Amino acid sequence: MIRPYNQNDYNRICEIYNASKLDELRYEATPFKLLPLERDSKRRKALLESDLYVYEQGGIIGFTAVHDLEIRALFVCSRYRGMGVGEALLRWVVDRFPGDLCLYVACSNSPAIALYEKHGFRLTDTYLTEYNSEPVWAGKMVRQVR
């Protein structure tokens, strides 16, 4: 079941984020060090100013964050990956937020890119950004409504 986030979900959201964040960077040539969400003021602010939704199945196992048609986060607990949770969250967002959605993804994260492409997102730009003061190439993906 997908439902809106409430303040009681914050600790679990942080747990999932902290356990999953480095997975999105696992294909990078250089290893990254985790900056926990609780200490990452930039990403925490972006997340908490978004509309957050959690996926529950005997507890919270994933979440997504959307702000002004930008998907700012989509994280799934590692033991539930490959079971359709991320895809369900993505479909849920696409169905409920009409318009040209966009998201940002590490260019090396080919599994995530494949999922997004499967749902109509296309790479429109690449740029150099940073995570925890380390450089990383990212891509902007857009799903245009026709």
pLDDT, mean of each 10-residue run, the chain (146 residues): 96 97 92 94 95 97 98 95 93 93 96 94 96 94 89
pLDDT for 82 equals 87
For domain 2-143, give the CATH superfamily: Gcn5-related N-acetyltransferase (GNAT) (3.40.630.30)
pTM of the predicted model, to two decimals?
0.93
For residue 110, CA distances in Å to 1, 95, 120, 138 come to 27, 24, 15, 12
- Domain residue extents for the chain: 2-143
